[in-house]
Amino acid sequence: MSDNRNYHDLVEAFVDGELSEDQQTEFENAVATHPDLAASVEFYRRLKKSAGEAISEIDGEPMSPGLEQTIERLRQARPGWREAVGTWWQTFPSPVQGAALASILTVLALVVSLWVRSESAGDAPLLLAGIDVSEAIETLTDDQADGEIRIARSYVGDGSFCRLVLVGGESGAAGLVCWSDAAGAWTITSEEAPLRAEGYVTAGSAASPRLIDALDGLRPSSPEETEAFLVRFDDRSTD
């Protein structure tokens, strides 16, 4: 970093604390001998400080009534069952009695939960190239990713809501997964190795005829429609 110009390229990283220890020491030495560099550092420091101060003005602003209500709801919310169970047994006169009862109830809860799962076996995992996308399909918004799973775009049809799911990156697969109001279930309508993600998103020339056929009769969903659809599932699964 002997060139003064190179030091100027590092001003932002220096001000943001992103330089390594060695780089920082070298940069500080350069600042001491280059007034123009020192001026640049001073400006960016002032800009960063001023930005923080300018925005923190909102700390002194009263909250909107709507936000106040939301916070009050959070305050009034009861503890989740895990937290409630976590300390509840300690209120027993004899800790041993309490712990024993808690153990019995835990086993009972486990049995009930296994029974409920077996009863709802209809909610089978949606496997796309071996990856379960059942949760992602009901939680991710468009162009949002969770690990290997990305929802590229959503589509709306007559009584159906379809989502284009990409899994496993470029070497993975793409699938159109559709919810049918009539059937009340998700099905994988089309699945194959992707050629190009962008092609699938736009259903353009890079998409296969099979996928284009699957999209026939569907139109891209608006962000509001997608949000409204996800809320249906959120409401169902909120703990």
Partner 1 sequence: MNAKHRQMIDAIPKLRRFAYALTGAPGDADDLVQETIEKALRRLSTYKEGSAMQSWLFKIMQNTFIDSQRARQRRPEHVSIDETGATFADMKQGASEDAVFLKQVRTAISGLPEGQRIVVAHVLIAGHTYKEAAELLDLPVGTVMSRLNRARRTLQTQLLGGENSYV
Out of 55, 96, 121, 182, the only residue in the binding site for partner 1 (CB under 8 A) is 55
Residue 47 in contact with partner 1, rule: CB under 8 A: yes
Out of 95, 159, 217, 223, the only residue in the binding site for partner 1 (CB under 8 A) is 223
Residue 144 in contact with partner 1, rule: CB under 8 A: yes
Q: Least CB distance from residue 79 to partner 1, whole Å?
A: 5
Spell out, one character per residue from 65 to 84, where the chain touches partner 1: x when CB under 8 A holds, - when not: -xx--xx--xxxxxxx--x-
Out of 6, 29, 32, 51, the only residue in the binding site for partner 1 (CB under 8 A) is 51
DSSP state letters, the chain: --SHHHHHHTHHHHHTT-S-HHHHHHHHHHHHH-HHHHHHHHHHHHHHHHHHHHHGGGGGSPPPHHHHHHHHHHHHPPPPHHHHHHHHGGGSSSHHHHHHHHHHHHHHHHHHHHHHHHHTTTS---EETTEE-HHHHHH--TTEEETTEEEEEEEEETTEEEEEEEESGGGSEEEEEEEETTTTEEEEEEEE--S-HHHHHHT-TTS-HHHHHHHTT-EEPPHHHHHHHHHHHHHHH--
Residue 182 in contact with partner 1, rule: CB under 8 A: no
Residue ranges binding partner 1 (CB under 8 A): 8, 11-13, 16-18, 36, 39-40, 43-44, 47-48, 50-59, 61, 63-64, 66-67, 70-71, 74-80, 83, 135, 139, 141, 144-145, 222-224, 227, 231, 234-235, 237-239
